[in-house]
Structure formats: structure tokens, C-alpha cells
Structure 1
Amino acid sequence: MNVSWTKHRFSGGLLALDTTNTVVLRGDPARSFDRFEDTAEIARFAAAAEGFRSAELGGRGLSFQFSDAAVRRVIVLREAADRMLRAAVLSGGIETIHLPDFLRACAACLDESAERVGADGMPFGDPSLPIRFEAALAVSALSLLAVDAWKKVRICPNCNWLFVDRSRNSSRLWCDMSVCGNRNKAKRHYQRGKLAGGEAVHV
């Protein structure tokens, strides 16, 4: 069954975080699942990311040439980035134990690429040509090593996704208020209703 790559699935705020979030409900073995288990979804995800991550990419298109090696590179970087960033959120700092795997994964995704990134107006290189998805993923992931970048990463308490908190006072709690925020509000309302009903029974 094809995934519907909607705006909500790009709630991470950066391509690298959106990619880590393709594993749903991390930390919950009973319910967790991988949207890239069908590896054909990687190309469909990349196509959707062109639109939802256009600002980050500087309007550059993404291409994904399917191969077992390309799939492995994407998955290995996804998992290394998730481990490093999730630990950083919980500990308050980048732990060097995670850096070798992360940097090797980024290097593998950039291997044989010939890009010039970071120029004004061209953060991911020449927008007139597409960039390989795994190379763009590596550039996005590496950008999170900046002090002001990784310090803004949060973990959604509802779905466990990673996201960038760009709120003015750094108080954003949910990856997506319209989904996880509303689900939590509905849950609290339900629990208050049960509590009120229980109290009424005992009166």
C-alpha cells in the first residue's frame, strides 16, 4: 500500500528529520513500523520532499536512482542521524560516540558527488539541476551539527518524531499541533470526562 506523503509527514522541519521520522512510533516495539520497508517509497518520499522542503533545498529538485546500495546508504544515515540527535536532545549535547557512524554515513551518501553547496541563494547547489536524494540528505543532516541547529531539535511526546522548534520562545511541544497537539487535547478531554463520570458515581 502506497504511503500518502502529506504535509504532516514533513513536520520535522528539515529533510534529515523528516527522513528519520519515516520510522513511526520509535521506541514502541508493539506499534512501530518503517514507511521505507517498501523501498519504492524512498523515491516517492523524495518526490514529495521537493515541494515540502523547497525552501530548505533552495528550489532544487531531488532524484533517487534506485539500487540496493542507494537504499542502504539512505537507511544507514537515517538511523545514525536519529541515534545522534535523539541522544543529543535527551542529554543536552552531541555525544562523540555517535559521531563516527554519523559522519561515515554522511560520507557514503556524498561519495562521488560533485556539488558546491552553501552559496547565497543556492544552499543545496545549482537549482537548475536535480541533486541526488542521498547527497541532499547528507547535507541536511550535516547542517544539524551547527550549535544553533541541533539545540532546536525536540522530540514530540505524542508520536516520538524529531522536529525543529522555530517558535519565538522555544516552547513548541508538538511536531504538528493540528495532529499530535489535537490528539493530546482530545485525550485529556476524554480523561477528564471519565474522571468526572467516576466522581459522579461515588457521590
Structure 2
Amino acid sequence: MVVSWTPHRFTGGMLALDTANTVVLRNDPEKTFDRLKDPAEITRFAEAASGFRAAELGRPLVAPTPEKIAPVVLSIRETTDRLFRRAVSKGAITTGDMPEFLEACADGLAQSRTEIGRPGKLFGNPATPIAFEAALAVSALSLLRGDTIARLRICPNCSWLFVDKSRNSSRLWCDMAVCGNRQKANRYYRRRTAAREVTNV
């Protein structure tokens, strides 16, 4: 199935979180599914992320051989989700989760021969593309900053991870237009149903 990589798919706030969120409904074993199950979607996701994450990346992404990089991408995705989902739940990072996460990120960087970390340009030279798996590793590692960890959230509707970039750190939903409105509609429906039941008693 071809995925429509809409703006809503990039509400995590950072490339690594958007990638972690390509597994939908992780908290529901019966409904969960993986949008990157077809490796070809990695290329399409990278193309979309080049636009939607342009401010974060500062350079385009390339994923020329998705079948080859798929194991590395999925490893970074899963270890990132596990590490930071637990960090949100516990309020701190669990050191036991770190080695696997760091190994996955190292694998993502291993084949890259690009310079990163210039002042103001975390992802390196904006004039040249960067391999998707390398950019994903850099984004995942940048989540370790204390100020970022403090702003990580889990959407109560869809269970996606996101960075709360609101001024007063009060953002509740990954996307107010989607998850926020769904929750409002559900609450309204429950109130109406409860009111009808009381009336019919």
C-alpha cells in the first residue's frame, strides 16, 4: 500500500520522532501497522521529510537503496521509540536502553562520509544531500539533550511521540487538528450518550 506522506505524518517535531511514528497505534496490538513495511516507502518518506523537516535538516535527504538501508533505519526507529517512550513515562532515560540505541545510531552513521555538527548546522553542509540513515541517526542522538527530553510527550489519542515546542509546554496532542478534534468529538459523543441514558431512566 502506497502511503500518503501528509503534513500530519510529520507532527513529531523532529525527524527521529516522525520516523518512530511510522508505526501506527503501537499501544493497540490488534490495530497497529507499520507504514515502512514496504522498503520502497523509506525513499518516499525521505523525500517528504526533506520538505517537511527542511528547517531541522537544512539539507535534502537521499535514500537510494531502501532495501539495503531498511534494517538500519528500522533499528534506529525501534530503539529510538523504546528509549524515549520510556523516558517520557519515567521522566528519565534508562541507561540499560542506551547501548542498543547507540549501536543503531552508529550503524546509521558508519557508511556516511559527510561532515556534521558545524555551528548552527547540526546536519552539516546545506549544499549537499545527506543519507537518510545518517540524518536519522543525527536526529535521534540530538534527542538526548536535556531540554529536549523535558519536552517529549506521548499523544494520548494515537500514542505518537512528539516534542512540545509550545511556549508554556502545555501541548497535549501531537496534532490538534487530528487527534485533538477526535478526542473532543469522543467526549461530546460520550456526554450525549450519558445524557440520553439518564433521560431514559
- Would you call these one fold, judging by a TM-score over 0.5? yes
1:27 corresponds to: 27
Amino acid at match of 2:25: L
Point out where structure 1 has 5 or more consecutive residues left out of the alignment: none
Cα offsets for 1:163-196 (capped at 9, x unmatched): 0001111111100000000000000000011011
**Aligned counterparts, 1:1-203, within 5 A:** 1-58=1-58, 60-202=59-201
Q: By how many angstroms is 1:119 displaced?
A: 1.9
Residue 199 of structure 1, CA deviation: 1.0
Q: Which runs of 5+ in 2 are unaligned?
A: none
Identity level (%):
58
Residue 67 (structure 1) shift: 4.8
Letter in 1 for 2:8: H
Following the alignment from structure 2 to structure 1, what is the Cα–Cα distance between the partners of residues 27 and 191?
27
Contact 2:40 2:66 in 1 (8 A): no
Amino acid at match of 1:143: S
Normalized against structure 1, the TM-score is what?
A: 0.96
Deviations 1:23-61, CA, capped at 9 Å, x for gaps: 000021000000011111010000000110000001x01
Q: Judge conservation of contact 2:5–2:48 (CA < 8 Å) in 1.
A: yes
What letter corresponds to residue 20 of structure 1 in structure 2? A
Matches of 1:3 and 1:65, distance apart in 2: 18
Coordinate RMSD, CA, aligned: 1.0
Partner SS, residue 158 of structure 2? coil
TM-score (norm 2): 0.97
